[in-house]
Structure 1
Amino acid sequence: MKFPLISDIASTSVVSVDITSSVAEAIGMMLDKDHRNVIVIDKDCFKILTVIDILNIQKNKLDLSVKLSEVHLDIVPVIGREKNVLDTMEYLNNSIEYICVINPDKSLYGIVTHTDITSNIDPDTLMDNYRLQDFLKLNRRIKWVKKDTITFDLLKTMANDAFDNAVIVEDMKPIGILTTKDVMGLIRNKNDLNVSVSEYMSTPIETVPRNSSVKEALEFIKEKHYKRVVVVDNKGNLSGIVTQKELISLTYSRWATLMKEYQKELSEINNILKDKNKEYETLASTDSLTGLYNRYKFSELYLSSYLAMTQRHNEMSMILMDIDFFKKVNDTYGHNTGDNVLVQVSHALLKTLRNIDIVCRWGGEEFIVLLPTANLENALYLAEKLRVYIEELDIDIVGKVTASFGVTQIIEGDEMEDAVARADEALYLAKNSGRNCVKSKLAV
């Protein structure tokens, strides 16, 4: 098996502008070239202006004549054109779906997207028995709205929450989708945004059943040239969305297995990965910002901890916590400061909890903690201890932050999503009770 070089799969049809260009010039190039983003060259650094950035610029009524250097733009990771496609794995935890490909002299050669990577994965190497419904048990949040939602309100929400798509439903059945491509059309045509989103959604929407395999989902994406699959249950109700990026991440474990099984045929890959195995294992199980476990690893650890609990007749509990008003921190001080808050809160969790406790960044400003051997009373005590410790932190620039906590005890027969749902209900109660407090939810 031979994986292609980055130069073989990169797209060289890239719209790029200099950091000294104005926002208006960049938007004009995007519209002229019918692109949903533009690469911004800032000396040896590459940044990106996306549709979501444009929505935020319009929402904040920013003067379009300002220079791009005055706008906060995400930095795009880079990779040499001589690298192997397998080397892109280390970038998959990055929220940006593009990688800039550079020449030996550091100039821009092109870009690689998740679509490019997906198109170069052999479906026969995928986990044929890994079903989408198993992945969706992680309860991944998606954006869905009813068909009479006003387009302007939806675009505002997409900008605030950084969603690149929204599924439109009727009686929980998906009837359309609005993606960044559709948004670019609205911007180009200067459409009336004070009408229902059903006027502009892409319809009909093609879906896949939740019992499909990862292989089938990837083949569907490649055939349709989509960036995501919309998943439905056997009644046609919306179950979730799976992106290219998530499918790529799932394939890595299958690749690792093949590498061990076919030593001779895969000697080239084994040489590439000789010094990277530990790095990839860490990448697959940890959150890149905080160093805590990620959702995939947490799901694995939940199963092993649950099995130990039932075999030893122990008790076990769960805490779901959310940093209060975190969006205000990002809006006031910027995302770099927000990231620093997440890191310091992560350190506080590790310092306060026991060695046997399992801590995970659940997503955004949410963290989840599994407490082996702890009953509800012990879990409430630990949650309150965490609440006080976080409240007393003195964080650079921001000062003080608080957090809300939802606690539940795990009982025999609990699926992970059942326990998470109860903890989430308790967290919702804590937020409605004024935040900065601890609430619990018992299993029925």
Structure 2
Amino acid sequence: MRFPTVGEIATTKVVTVTRESILSEVIDVMCHHGHRNIIVEDRNSFFLLGINDVLSAKMRVPNLDISIASLELAKIPTVYKNENILSTIEYLNCNLEHICALNEDGTLYGILTHTDITSSIDPDTLMNSFCLDDFLKLGKRVKWIRKETKTSVILQEMINNATDSVMIVEESKPIGIFTTKDVVKIIRKNLDVEAPISTYMSSPVDTLGKESSVKEALDFLAQKHYKRVVVVNDDGSLSGMITQKELISLAYSRWAMLTKEYQEELGKINESLIKKNAQIEHLASRDPLTNLYNRYKFSKLFELSHKAMVEREGVMSLVMVDVDFFKKINDTYGHGVGDMVLVGISELFLSLLREEDIVCRWGGEEFVILLPSANLKDALSLAEKLRGRIEMMEMQSVHRVTASFGVTQVRVDDDLKSAVDRADNALYGAKDAGRNCVVQN
């Protein structure tokens, strides 16, 4: 599930005029394209010329031969086309039903309307089980009018109340609807506004039953290209009206709620996978007996440390450690005691080494220690300290254990094998020298 970007759903075929255009000519453009509103460009700003603006101007200047610049028009909010559609939701609470989508350079890319948003909503995320009757707000957005009412009265009410539609009702049943689209025709053709509203209303009225679902209402709007749904009771009497804005709010609230639920569920799954991956990573990189790094992990860490040493022109040393006469310990006291010795030495290493030092069980009774930023002198000093502490350790059954050490400084042209080979040669030198000592190479 994803929310589209503004550019993905915006209408790009937009008719615009400039602030210098003459109003009478703009009305011709509106009629030619069948628009009840038109976009007015003024440098980097955009304004909306609506039918109410035309009505107000006609009361002052009957022939409408005036510049649009003389009108006070509503400024249209703007968003960039690559923004998420959720960034436009805050604008749906205002009376203006248009949002300008801009290119990165601030030029007009397209227009976003309630229709565009409605048609982009995924029906699978909507509440098919929720009925329109659950969301009706009776009498708040629709004016009920008798068919004998003069059109001029209705036009004045539309101006005063900034409404875009009225419902013509007879015996509680909708018999016609009068919208701003009908107003455009009256103005363009200069029709008689003293005629009854029934002369110009659209009839019959397409309606939906109050038990219809939100999905059915959205499909209805998309098919009919309407801005509102007229809702009736079972007997056909007017129950109310739901606008696109209300349906959008409802649909997006549900969509956002579902997304949050999915995110929470995915978050729990992700958290579980992270823990599982951490466990797998631990098992894949650690020696199961000593919990030290294994050869595979050590080789990766050596590569990273060596790269950092070269880039910083630093130093690094490597130490090989072998427990003396370990086979004899196993043969004499058993493998359980031998394991205890390895674990004890491993814990000693971890307690004495720095946080940045890397220690690995190389295999059997052998260990490798990587000492970032340590030169050969420092490495020899540390190795001697470790040797002495191992010799002083009190072990159950074995009592006294010793170890031999081979030390080398890592070179710029080294790989892991060449560095380990030098340290290993030094280690053999320590064994030849009688064990329980430190030798460098």
TM-score by length of 1: 0.56
Q: For residue 198 of structure 2, what is the aligned residue in structure 1?
A: 198
- Separation of aligned partners in 2, 1:179 and 1:149: 15
Unaligned runs of 5+ in 1: 268-444
Q: For residue 410 of structure 1, what is the aligned residue in structure 2?
A: none
Q: 1:67 to 1:82 in 2, by over 3 A?
A: same
Question: Deviation digits for residues 186-228 of structure 1, max 9, x if unmatched?
Answer: 2222222221111211111111122322222222212222110
Note if contact 2:78-2:101 (Cα within 8 Å) is conserved in structure 1. yes
Q: For residue 227 of structure 1, what is the aligned residue in structure 2?
A: 227
Q: For residue 34 of structure 1, what is the aligned residue in structure 2?
A: 34
SS in 2 for 1:7: helix
1:160-175 alignment runs, 5 A limit: 160-175=160-175
1:254 matches 2:254 = yes
Q: 1:193 to 1:163 in 2, by over 3 A?
A: same
- Separation of aligned partners in 2, 1:211 and 1:251: 17
Equivalent AA in structure 1 for residue 226 of structure 2: Y
- Separation of aligned partners in 2, 1:137 and 1:4: 29
Q: 1:181 to 1:137 in 2, by over 3 A?
A: closer
Unaligned runs of 5+ in 2: 268-441
Question: Deviation digits for residues 112-148 of structure 1, max 9, x if unmatched?
Answer: 1100100000122112343322222565242121111
Q: 1:23 to 1:188 in 2, by over 3 A?
A: closer
Question: Deviation digits for residues 218-275 of structure 1, max 9, x if unmatched?
Answer: 22212222110011122221121111111001122211221133239989xxxxxxxx
Question: Deviation digits for residues 43-101 of structure 1, max 9, x if unmatched?
Answer: 22111101111112123446733322221111111111112323221221121111111
Q: For residue 113 of structure 1, what is the aligned residue in structure 2?
A: 113
Note if contact 1:23-1:68 (Cα within 8 Å) is conserved in structure 2. yes
Note if contact 1:6-1:84 (Cα within 8 Å) is conserved in structure 2. yes
- Separation of aligned partners in 2, 1:244 and 1:155: 23
SS in 1 for 2:93: coil
Q: For residue 8 of structure 1, what is the aligned residue in structure 2?
A: 8
- Separation of aligned partners in 2, 1:32 and 1:256: 39
RMSD of aligned C-alpha atoms? Answer: 2.2
Alpha-carbon deviation of 1:25?
3.1
- Separation of aligned partners in 1, 2:260 and 2:2: 15
Equivalent AA in structure 1 for residue 134 of structure 2: D
Task: Please identify, of 191-200 and 129-138, the stretch whose mean Cα deviation from structure 2 is larger.
Answer: 129-138
Equivalent AA in structure 2 for residue 140 of structure 1: K
- Separation of aligned partners in 2, 1:138 and 1:256: 26
1:263 matches 2:259 = no
Q: 1:137 to 1:17 in 2, by over 3 A?
A: closer
1:44 matches 2:44 = yes
SS in 2 for 1:136: coil
Q: For residue 390 of structure 1, what is the aligned residue in structure 2?
A: none
Q: 1:3 to 1:51 in 2, by over 3 A?
A: same
Note if contact 1:98-1:113 (Cα within 8 Å) is conserved in structure 2. yes
Q: For residue 70 of structure 1, what is the aligned residue in structure 2?
A: 70
- Separation of aligned partners in 2, 1:138 and 1:163: 15
Equivalent AA in structure 2 for residue 223 of structure 1: Q
Note if contact 1:259-1:266 (Cα within 8 Å) is conserved in structure 2. no
Structure showing greater radius of gyration is 2
- Separation of aligned partners in 2, 1:121 and 1:238: 27
Note if contact 2:28-2:188 (Cα within 8 Å) is conserved in structure 1. no
Q: For residue 150 of structure 2, what is the aligned residue in structure 1?
A: 150
SS in 1 for 2:3: coil
Q: 1:225 to 1:84 in 2, by over 3 A?
A: same
Note if contact 2:137-2:242 (Cα within 8 Å) is conserved in structure 1. no
Q: How many residues align?
A: 267
- Separation of aligned partners in 2, 1:140 and 1:149: 20
Note if contact 1:59-1:156 (Cα within 8 Å) is conserved in structure 2. no
Equivalent AA in structure 2 for residue 96 of structure 1: L
Identity of aligned residues (%): 51
SS in 2 for 1:212: coil
1:294-443 alignment runs, 5 A limit: none
Equivalent AA in structure 1 for residue 160 of structure 2: N
1:188 matches 2:184 = no
SS in 2 for 1:255: helix
Equivalent AA in structure 1 for residue 69 of structure 2: S
Alpha-carbon deviation of 1:177?
0.8
Alpha-carbon deviation of 1:105?
1.0
Q: 1:244 to 1:100 in 2, by over 3 A?
A: same
- Separation of aligned partners in 2, 1:51 and 1:199: 19
Q: For residue 94 of structure 1, what is the aligned residue in structure 2?
A: 94
Q: 1:196 to 1:251 in 2, by over 3 A?
A: same
SS in 2 for 1:193: coil
Q: For residue 80 of structure 1, what is the aligned residue in structure 2?
A: 80
Equivalent AA in structure 2 for residue 243 of structure 1: T
Equivalent AA in structure 2 for residue 93 of structure 1: N
Equivalent AA in structure 1 for residue 37 of structure 2: N
Equivalent AA in structure 2 for residue 117 of structure 1: I
1:115-130 alignment runs, 5 A limit: 115-130=115-130
Q: 1:111 to 1:265 in 2, by over 3 A?
A: farther
- Separation of aligned partners in 2, 1:34 and 1:95: 21
Q: 1:132 to 1:17 in 2, by over 3 A?
A: same
Note if contact 1:56-1:160 (Cα within 8 Å) is conserved in structure 2. no
TM-score by length of 2: 0.57
SS in 1 for 2:205: coil
- Separation of aligned partners in 2, 1:183 and 1:167: 14
Alpha-carbon deviation of 1:163?
1.1
Note if contact 1:151-1:197 (Cα within 8 Å) is conserved in structure 2. yes
Note if contact 2:138-2:239 (Cα within 8 Å) is conserved in structure 1. no
